[in-house]
Each structure stands twice: as structure tokens, then as C-alpha cells.
Amino acid sequence: MPLVRLDAEEDPVPNLAPMIDVILVLTIFFMCATKFSTDERRFDLDLPKAGAAASTAEGRPEVIEVESSGGLRFAGEEVEAAALVERLSAARTARPDLAVTIRGERAVPHGRMAEIYEACRAAGVSRVAIAVQARPDSRTR
């Protein structure tokens, strides 16, 4: 760190401006990284467990969350089941390669999950995934 001497009689002092800049940039970086990593875990859902799960690496999918109490969220916003097809169609118009991940709680009836899947199909979304948690005893193949 360069030392700054204002007058010949003063003792040199370190220039703290570059260090403060670096700390500010790191703080902003970690704040953004924390926001992105918790985006999908915003709601506490009890996801079902599966032996082998594959990750979706292609783009960032929109998330439909289905609660066992009947609540439904699309892209983090509460939505009625009847309006889901319209919202998905609008999102697909904006992004033709739209991918959707359905995160349904373990206690959600199969019929409800089928309704959500059917809404995706009706909106023309062909890339649909179902989110699960990997079992602790499962091994990657």
C-alpha cells in the first residue's frame, strides 16, 4: 500500500481508499450472491425425495410452487390456478425457450400436480421438470 506524505514534517500514513473500495465491492458481490442462491428456497416446501435426480443446467427455469394447503405461486407471486395458463403463455411469448420447474410439496395430491402439468402443456411449454430432493443414501451413477 503506498504511503502518502503531505508535508515533510508529517509522518507517512497509509492510503486507505483502495482498501475501502475493495471491501465495498466484495460486500456488494456477496450480497448479490446470497440473493441468487436463496431465490428458489424462498418458501419452505417439503419436497419429495428421489433416488436419482438430474439438474437442469440450461438457462434459468421459471418455478411453479404448489403447497399442500392449495397455494400456488408462479415466479414467486401468488396466482390462481385458472390464471396459470395465461401467465405461462405470456412468459412463453417473452421467452420462447421457457423452461418450468414444478416444486410441489410431498403431501400435494397427484391430481393437483397433473393439473399444473396440464396447464404447462396447454400454454405450450415443452420443457417441464419436477423438483425433488436427493435421498441421502442415493449414489450418483
In order along its 141 residues, the chain shows pLDDT tens digits of 566 666 667 777 788 888 999 999 999 988 877 765 545 555 566 666 666 555 544 567 888 888 888 888 888 788 888 888 899 888 888 888 888 888 888 888 888 888 888 988 888 888 888 877 766 765 555
DSSP letter assigned to residue 59: S
Distance CA 48, CA 112 (A): 15
Helices (H) and strands (E) in the chain, counts: 3, 9
Distance CA 22, CA 69 (A): 47
pTM of the model: 0.55
Task: Domain ranges for the chain, please list them.
Answer: 3-37, 49-134
CB atoms within 10 A of CB 88: 25
The count of C-alpha atoms lying within 13 angstroms of the C-alpha of 52, restricted to the half-sphere facing its C-beta, is 3
The architecture of the domain spanning 49-134 is 2-Layer Sandwich (3.30)
